[in-house]
Amino acid sequence: MLKLPDNLSISPGPVPVGRVLPVLAVDGIGATLQELNARATQFILGREYSAQVVSKVDDKAYLVKVDSAVLKMELGNTALVGQSIRLRYVQDSPVPTFFFTPPTGKPAYDSAELSSAARLIGQLLQEAEKNGVSGKYEAAAVVTHSPKDPQMVAQGLKQAVANSGLFYESHLSEMLQGGRSLTAIMQEPQNQAQQTQAQIATLTSQQLAILEQNRLNWHGEVWPGQKMEWDVYLEQRDGESAEQGSEREDVARPVVSEIKLTFPHLGVVAAKLTIVDGHVSINLRAEQSETLDALKSKSRGLTQAMSDSGLQVEGLVISVYE
């Protein structure tokens, strides 16, 4: 998330604020969760609003009054209670999103400015928004040419994600610690001269979406002529919001991997694996009855293969894809 300067001086060009969460207004202690969500989405897309920093919640989060709603926003650790700011509402989902609107007057001579990196990220996010960028990553290259070799498919998928650029900054950190080579870093999109501004904007937007949602949506050609949709995310517990889950790092959360393929002869086949602490639950679904029968006949071998890989299979369900 972008950090604001010491006095929230805004340089030309809109800059996105941190995540915005609906919270109880002073006069609405009994409001339901649905009412809170409604307050966060009552704003009109594209309209500018006058806002005031009401109080400080923690080191980075503040309560900000926008019209009649009080929202929790991450403004960094240098915002001032009582400060007035201008916001433009730009997005309803997956979370309500505002951009700062630069002041029309000339800033004081001692005002700090946003860093060049912050301004660049803001510009890239604006371009991605203008182009209607999807949160789903579209792979450009075929993953593998050896579809009958599971190990080759797995290795190809690993490389496809590693070289996607979605985790570029974490890979830089690994390189500094000796865990990744410079050669591998140079293969990622951020270091390719042919990347256009629009492509970089798309990648930046998708990186921030993954950081915000703890979810990777991948779509591409897994082998020649065969498309695959792949979704990997941290599962939320019942009654738990995404923010609450991210704060409970001491509690293991299930990792879910879902894939969907449409085969020429087998029809649609989808698989969902839920893994936590070395235990895995498998849910397989197929569109055609013949495919269902084939999956059921091979279920024992699949369970054994998962056990051989070091995972303890908690359950295997095979059902119709609807």
Please state, as a whole number, how many other Cβ atoms lie within 10 Å of the Cβ of residue 149.
12
> Residue 81's pLDDT is what?
83
**Alpha carbons 282 and 257: distance in angstroms, whole number:** 10
* pLDDT lower than 70: segments of the chain: 1-41, 77-78, 93-94, 102-114, 237-251
Tell me the pLDDT tens digit for each residue of 162-173: 999 999 999 999
pLDDT number for residue 322:
86
How confident is the model at residue 46, as a pLDDT?
Answer: 78
Rounded (5°) CA angle 181-183-186: 115
Which residues of the chain are in CATH 3.30.750.140 domains?
249-322
Percent of the chain scoring above 90 in pLDDT: 37
Both tokens assigned to 222: 């897994």
pLDDT value for 241: 53
pLDDT tens for each residue of 294-306: 999 999 998 998 8
pTM of the model: 0.58
Q: Give a three-class secondary structure readout of the chain.
A: CCCCCCCCCCCCCCEECCCEEECCCCCCCCCCHHHHHHHHCCCCCCCEEEEEEEEECCCCEEEEEECCEEEEEECCCCCCCCCEEEEEEEECCCCCEEEECCCCCCCCCCCCCCCHHHHHHHHHHHHHHHCCCCCCEECCCCCCCCCCCHHHHHHHHHHHHHCCCCCHHHHHHHHHCCCCCHHHHHCCHHHCCCCCHHHHHHHHHHHHHHHHHCEEEEEEEEECCEEEEEEEEECCCCCCCHHHHHHCCCCCCCEEEEEEEEECCCEEEEEEEEEECCEEEEEEEECCHHHHHHHHHCHHHHHHHHHHCCCEEEEEEEEECC
In CATH, which of 3.30.750.140, 3.30.870.10, 3.90.25.10, 3.40.50.300 is domain 249-322? 3.30.750.140
d(CA 283, CA 320): 10
Residue 218 CA to residue 231 CA, distance in Å, equals 6
